[in-house]
């Protein structure tokens, strides 16, 4: 009998061998279940309508329909389905486009099995996971501040910089030596001041406006 607590996953990649490798990987974890495979974005949309998975592992460069277009349509038609970009490409424009399309995570195919499993579990809960290389690209893309962000306090800018790096509220609280409720309050204030509803939207806004947040060392 299949556990009702399993995370249902669809793999989307135009390389059959990679899909097979990922399928074998999924079988190693009792809480993960493969419910379908697709070779392009068009097939992925049909599978999402039929299977209603929890998480989609999405390649970005595919024929017929690319992963970014498919992600945008899935995000619109099936907002409860989380999409993790799983790709070999880390160009800044591609990362920004994927985030804007609604991915919950951007990872590279060289990722370890355990780290991918953790990212899938995090995505199911709505928490994004970014590869270190992606975080580096995001930080490098930050240039001059824009008037839109002038209402942020220095502390809020510091918290936002940690949000861009993928830290959760408790990690932010621990790093800044503040209470968890205080960290949550800072995050809520940031989202309200920027007029967005989620961390992902805040990160996208940072990228679109090339905001300078300052540096904060994370060991």
pLDDT tens-digit series, residues 14-39: 999 999 999 998 889 999 999 999 99
The string of pLDDT tens digits covering residues 81-96 is 999 999 999 888 888 8
**Mean pLDDT over each residue of the chain, to the nearest integer:** 86
Gap between the Cα atoms of 201 and 102, Å rounded: 9
Do residues 32 and 6 lie in contact, with contact meaning Cβ atoms separated by under 8 Å?
yes
Instruction: Tell me the C-alpha distance between 156 and 188, whole Å.
Output: 10
Quote the pLDDT of residue 167. Answer: 86
Mean pLDDT of the 66-73 span: 94
The ranges of the chain annotated as CATH 1.10.10.10 are 142-209
Residue 146 has what pLDDT?
53
Distance of CA 51 to the CA centre of its chain: 21
Please enumerate in sequence order all residues whose Cβ is within 8 A of that of 7, keeping only pairs 6 or more positions apart, or say none: 31, 32, 33, 54, 55, 120, 121, 124
Distance separating alpha carbons of residues 71 and 83, to the nearest angstrom: 7
| CATH fold label, 142-209 | Arc Repressor Mutant, subunit A (1.10.10)
Give start-end residues of each CATH 3.40.50.2300 domain in the chain.
7-129
Helices 132-140 and 199-209: crossing angle, nearest 10°?
A: 40
Q: Which residue has the tokens 């992606």?
A: 134
The model carries a pTM of 0.67
- Best CATH choice for the domain 7-129 from the list 3.40.50.2300, 3.30.70.20, 3.40.720.10, 2.115.10.20: 3.40.50.2300
CA dist 129 and 109 (Å) reads 14
């Amino acid at each position: 009998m299949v556990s009702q607590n399993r995370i249902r996953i669809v793999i989307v990649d135009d390389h059959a061998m990679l899909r097979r490798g990922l399928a074998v990987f999924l079988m190693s974890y009792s809480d993960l279940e493969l419910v379908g495979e697709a070779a392009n974005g068009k097939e992925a949309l049909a599978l999402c309508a039929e299977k209603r998975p929890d998480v989609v592992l999405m390649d970005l460069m595919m024929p017929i329909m690319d992963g970014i277009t498919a992600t945008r349509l899935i995000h619109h038609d099936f907002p409860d389905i989380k999409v993790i970009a799983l790709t070999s490409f880390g160009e800044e424009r591609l990362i920004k486009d994927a985030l804007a399309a609604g991915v919950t995570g951007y990872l590279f195919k060289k990722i370890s099995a355990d780290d991918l499993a953790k990212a899938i579990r995090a995505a199911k809960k709505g928490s994004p996971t970014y590869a270190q290389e992606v975080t580096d690209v995001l930080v490098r893309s930050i240039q001059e501040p824009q008037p839109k962000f002038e209402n942020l306090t220095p502390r809020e800018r510091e918290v936002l910089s940690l949000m861009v790096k993928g830290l959760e509220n408790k990690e932010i609280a621990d790093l800044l030596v503040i209470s968890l409720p205080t960290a949550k309050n800072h995050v809520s204030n940031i989202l309200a001041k920027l007029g967005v509803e989620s961390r992902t939207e805040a990160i996208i806004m940072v990228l679109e406006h090339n905001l300078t947040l300052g540096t904060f060392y994370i060991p």
